[in-house]
Amino acid sequence: MDRFSGHSRMLSRVCLLALAGAATSVMGALPVSAADEVNQERLLNVDKEPGNWLHHHQNYSAHRFSTLKEVNRENVKNLKVAWTMHLGGIEGGGIWSHGGLEGTPIAENGFLYVTDGWGSVYKIDAHGGRGVLVWKMDPKTDRDWAGAVACCGVDNRGVALWGDLVISHTLDGRLIATNKETGQVAWQRTVADPDKGEVITGAPLIVKNMAITGVAGAEYGIRGWIAATDLATQKEVWRTHTIPGKGEPGSDTWKDSNNAAAAGGGSTWVTGTYDPATDTIIWGIGNPGPDWDNAYRPGDNLYTDSSLALDATTGKIKWHYQHTPNDPYDYDSVAENVLVDIPGPSGPRKLALEADRNGFAYAIDRNTGKFVWGLPFVKKVTWTKGLDAETGKPIEYDPNKPVQTYVASVTPSRDNMETDICPGNMGGKNWPPTAYNPDLKLWYIPVIESCNRIKVEVATPDKLKPREFWTGGGPSQPFKITGSVTAIDVTTGKIAGKMETPFPNLGGILATPDLVFSGQPSGEVMALDAKSLQKLWEFNTGGGVNAPPMTFTVDGKQYVAILVGLGGAWDKWFIDSTPELKKIQPGSMLYVFAL
């Protein structure tokens, strides 16, 4: 492989981008008016613009809930395809044969902004009941360089809007600002370094005048971080590492003699949330590395497998809550934290909800980080007998033990080199987002009902090399995997319903006042009754659904949109557990539905 330095490669890409012009203009675009410029006031008050979808997770609290109700439980059976649009980004690169679609479209005033797996941005005019491409910005991502260290697929989960700019990431580590009107790149800066195994797959979170970026790469021995870029000066404001350095708070939870924390993982590849009342960013943190040989890294391994609260202005850590200390299962906690307020005995309880890969759903006090409640949301959990009612830690957790074994008979370890775990390492929930209905107080989880087999390999320092897997073993898939949509009543912390699905839920959830929308990797998009979870409507797209639905209005009419194109990790690492999905062909399509 070409061995240019990362700096030389970046210069090459910038030059290519400038020469290419970056954007393909398809039709003239109207100038952006002051009313169209996105500022903090609009982002704080998205409930005043129910026809738009301005945040990746719909609002700062990650509710993915829309008050739109033209499409409802009485008429959803009449939902039809309004229009479709083929996108690009299906090309392979590195270890990947093709790209996939995992993004959430952003909708503003009748225009959609979507990405493909390689980070190209498409602006689409949705007026007139049809979709017309306005422009496409191709960032000219270095496919082989970045694709070779993209652990889990050629993916990009979407954009953000700020001022008159579209803010996006690329797999090869850049933050790009594109002019909303012309599609021309206004500026770009390097945030992550694939030379170290760092890539970016998540959508940006805009807080005040900053773009917040997370990083992927725990399986390549990186040291995770969250970074803030000032969108006016184009300079970094702060960067907070999720693995503490020597002498920093939490560094004593890495008790090895291998300097394991230097390559300890803790990636941050799912977009976090923001609580403006306390100026707090809450972000999910990934697994420690090496994944399965936890004897290499004795200690709790903070801040891996945690929900982490940061001061948005400074990046300083306010609190953390760790779900699986010294994780030997690859049960990262990278999922979004959903911020909800529920009635309490002495006023509203302010919670952060997280559906963890370990199969448990957690409610944490979002002001203090204190455990409130937790429960399993999958049907089969074998790695622990349950959670401690006071702390929420696994019952078997012993803070005096440097290496945790939990239920030792099923835990991968140097004494148990091959074993079966439930949930499997893809988790009871992976990255696909949950949704929350604030009226019904129901939280909907896209569930993977799974087990798999783990084989441990003893890690030694000489095996840690840049841009090579650093996992301490690996999984195999001898078990059938299915899924569900599971609803939790957040006032009681109890399961309120479960709709079984033949395949794992790999795309995520949208909630409206009386409906829940989701999809299947076999191609079906469906609408469920929000209370009973009874299926009310289904449409087969003919391609694998690997992205979450969203909804918006144009000229007063409601539409539901979803990207379709199975990619990511499933069809490479886990396909043997769902052999029927081997028939699903790669694709790249935007579907838009209406009555």
H helix runs in 223-287, sequence order: none
SS3 letters for 70-102? CCCCCCHHHCEEEEEEECCCCCCECCECCCCCC
Q: How far is CA 577 from the centre of its chain?
A: 22
Q: Which of 116, 193, 300, 330 is catalytic?
A: 330
How many residues are present in the chain? 595
Classified as helix, coil or strand, 524 is strand
Chain position carrying tokens 């700096």: 7
Which residues make Cβ contacts (< 8 Å) with residue 523, sequence separation at least 6?
540, 541, 542, 543, 544, 545, 564, 584
Which residues make Cβ contacts (< 8 Å) with residue 74, sequence separation at least 6?
none
Helix (H) or strand (E) holding 137: strand 132-137
Structure tokens at 127: 């007026």
**Closest by CA position to 10, among listed 129, 160, 188:** 188
The terminus-to-terminus CA distance of the chain in angstroms comes to 52
Chain position carrying tokens 């941005």: 121
Active site residue 305: no
Backbone angles phi, psi at 18, to 5 degrees: -65, -45
Structure tokens at 208: 């005040």
Distance CA 125, CA 109 (A): 9
Chain position carrying tokens 């996108």: 87
Q: How far is CA 250 from the centre of its chain?
A: 25
Distance CA 40, CA 209 (A): 8
Helix (H) or strand (E) holding 123: strand 121-125
Strands 210-214 and 225-230: antiparallel
Distance CA 335, CA 271 (A): 8
Chain position carrying tokens 């090579």: 468
Contact between 270 and 282 (Cβ < 8 Å): no
Classified as helix, coil or strand, 574 is helix
**Closest by CA position to 278, among listed 312, 229, 316:** 312
Catalytic residues: 330
